[in-house]
Amino acid sequence: MIEPVDSAAPAEVVWRLLREEAGAGAAEGQAEILWEHPPRELWIEVRMGIGFRVQHAYSIERRADGCRLSDRIRPLGWRWRLSNLFLFGRGLRPLEAAAHQGLLNLSRAAESDDSPA
């Protein structure tokens, strides 16, 4: 389970940065936007290489002092299943750690963003 991240940034700023990043990945052919409900939810699928994809379900919850960011991940593909087998079922932990770090980076970028929402 990925621990949510609290951010002092407004939800609209976080959404804009997240959507821009997802859009750039989609333009490069590395990601696909599956569903979006601005500025609350964004579901994307990221291609991690041949036979390995990760679906991210991002959620942005408004708070009085900013927002809370969360991400549910779902790895897919034969390469994922094979690597998870060799890792004795612990292959999700590095993906969760990377996703949590991504939320922290998004929060920091949004908090330091000075452009209008």
Average pLDDT, 10 consecutive residues per value, the chain (117 residues): 94 97 96 97 95 96 97 94 85 93 97 75
Q: What is the pLDDT of residue 37?
A: 97
pLDDT of residue 84: 85
How far apart CA 109 and CA 13 sit, in angstroms, is 9
pTM value > 0.85: yes
- The gap between the terminal CA atoms of the chain, to the nearest Å, is 30
- 65 in Cβ contact with 58 (< 8 Å): no
Domain ranges of the chain: 5-112
Residues 6+ apart with CB under 8 A from 26: 32, 33, 44
Cβ-contact 31, 53 below 8 angstroms = no
Identify the pLDDT of residue 90: 82
Q: What's the pLDDT at 64?
A: 94
Question: How confident is the model at residue 1, as a pLDDT?
Answer: 73
CA angle 108, 52, 98 (to 5 degrees): 25
Its CATH architecture, for the domain 5-112, is 2-Layer Sandwich (3.30)
Edge-to-edge strands, sheet with 31-37: 5-7, 66-76, 52-63, 41-49, 31-37
